[in-house]
Amino acid sequence: MANADDFYAHLRSELQSIREAGLFKSERIITSHQGAVVQTNEGREVINLCANNYLGLSSHPQVIEAAHEALRTHGYGLSSVRFICGTQDIHKTLEQRIARFLGTEDTILYAAAFDANGGLFEPLLGEQDAIISDELNHASIIDGIRLCKAKRFRYKHNDLADLQAQLQAADAAGARFKLVFTDGVFSMDGTIAQLDKIREICDRHGALLGIDECHASGFLGKTGRGTHEHRGVFGKIDIITGTLGKALGGASGGFTTGRKEVIELLRQRSRPYLFSNTVAPSIVGGSIAVLDILEGSTELRDKLEANTAYFREAIQAAGFEIKPGTHPITPIMVYDAVKAQQLSARLLELGVYAVGFFYPVVPKGQARIRVQISAVHERHHLEKAVAAFTQAGRELGLIPA
């Protein structure tokens, strides 16, 4: 019989095998605000190319001031779930503001988008129903679907023919309601889901359509509403989940937004909402300020778009291969995992912080540096980043000298 000592020895050996496989994730410590430049605990200032701070709002003075104000007027926290004594006026305001911004009827807040997805499916669908999910959907969607009794169908990533085939399979299996669910934007490649076509296919099959907008809300589309605006189907998505922890301020918090009856039922039955604490007032106040900024002007998303176009062009001119597209997520392909790590390490020495991704986060042989452009970057940051990539890429033989 194994005892507790054996258990801890077992964990040490698991950790060792993660290290030996080269998959151990270590965390770099930064000592500054999030921004175009961050300071590391070694006292170095490096250009930051790996935050989800798409609009630069995580250190925006107006957002910080609004968070301070909410802290003063509404306190540090609620010490309660929403339905006991955790709902303040500002929570209701933020829920309405998100619904208005995204073209829906009502919104429910969660502690994180992970919880929004985790608590979405089980309350809405039962064993007679079907969920048809893109195979590369985010981990939180996969976990949420696992918690639900609905029949599960997976379609090949971004593959409309297979989506139709899986919808037919769901019909053949006698599904009552069908929900197609996809990331609006896929975070490893920056691929933007073909929502216009997916909507058409869903309509033909009488299916509902839900999307996760974590990498889109706030900046994709002409006024930053997201993938539905970008693809011309604003107001035509049944369910949208999203985060307050990326473009929309960068603190934390998530939401589901959609039709009134969906949101009302989630408030009654969604477990991460019912059994987890209210979003802190400072985050709620900050998030309302974020929406004020974004509804007031498209300046930030316009700058992000211009920065992205500049960087994508310049890094290719330097000789690197990128995944084509227009999203600020710019995957710079290295293919070899060791080279990707070497490139990332050398970039850091040259004052540029960008991390490598390799198997199992991306398929084997598809290692890359994933750069994320922000509106907080100025042209000189991007020029310096491209120069560092060029120098390191030549040294490592990734681009011609």
Q: Please give the positions annotated as active site.
A: 187, 215, 246
Single residue of 95, 106, 122, 183 touching ligand PLP by CB under 6 A? 183
User: Residues 369, 344: contact at Cβ < 8 Å?
Assistant: yes
Q: Which stretch binds ligand PLP (CB under 6 A): 53-61, 112-120, 146-154, 277-285?
A: 112-120
Q: How far is the CB of 85 from ligand PLP (least distance, A)?
A: 24
Single residue of 243, 257, 278, 287 touching ligand PLP by CB under 6 A? 243
Instruction: CB nearer to ligand PLP: give 137 or 390.
Output: 137
User: Residues 328, 185: contact at Cβ < 8 Å?
Assistant: no
- Give the end-to-end CA distance of the chain in Å, rounded to a whole number: 61
Q: Does residue number 134 form part of the binding site for ligand PLP (CB under 6 A)? A: no
Single residue of 187, 270, 278, 344 touching ligand PLP by CB under 6 A? 187
Cα→Cα distances 261→3, 71, 101, 113, 393, Å: 51, 32, 19, 20, 54
> Going residue by residue from 247 to 266, which x/- string records binding to ligand PLP, judged by CB under 6 A?
-------x------------
Give the span between the Cα atoms of 155 and 396, in whole angstroms: 38
For residue 331, cis peptide bond before it (omega within 30 degrees of 0)? no
Helix axes 281-296, 89-102, angle to 10 degrees: 30
Instruction: CB nearer to ligand PLP: give 106 or 183.
Output: 183
Instruction: CB nearer to ligand PLP: give 214 or 304.
Output: 214
Q: Does residue number 112 form part of the binding site for ligand PLP (CB under 6 A)? A: yes
Burial 8-20 (b: 16+ CB within 10 A, else e): eeeeeeeeeeeee
Q: Does residue number 389 form part of the binding site for ligand PLP (CB under 6 A)? A: no
Single residue of 140, 158, 217, 344 touching ligand PLP by CB under 6 A? 140
- Token pair of 248 as six digits: 């929309």
Considering only residues 200-229, where is the footprint of ligand PLP by CB under 6 A? 212, 214-215
CA angle 253, 220, 356 (to 5 degrees): 70
Residues making contact with ligand PLP (CB under 6 A):
112-114, 117, 138, 140, 183, 187, 212, 214-215, 243, 245, 254
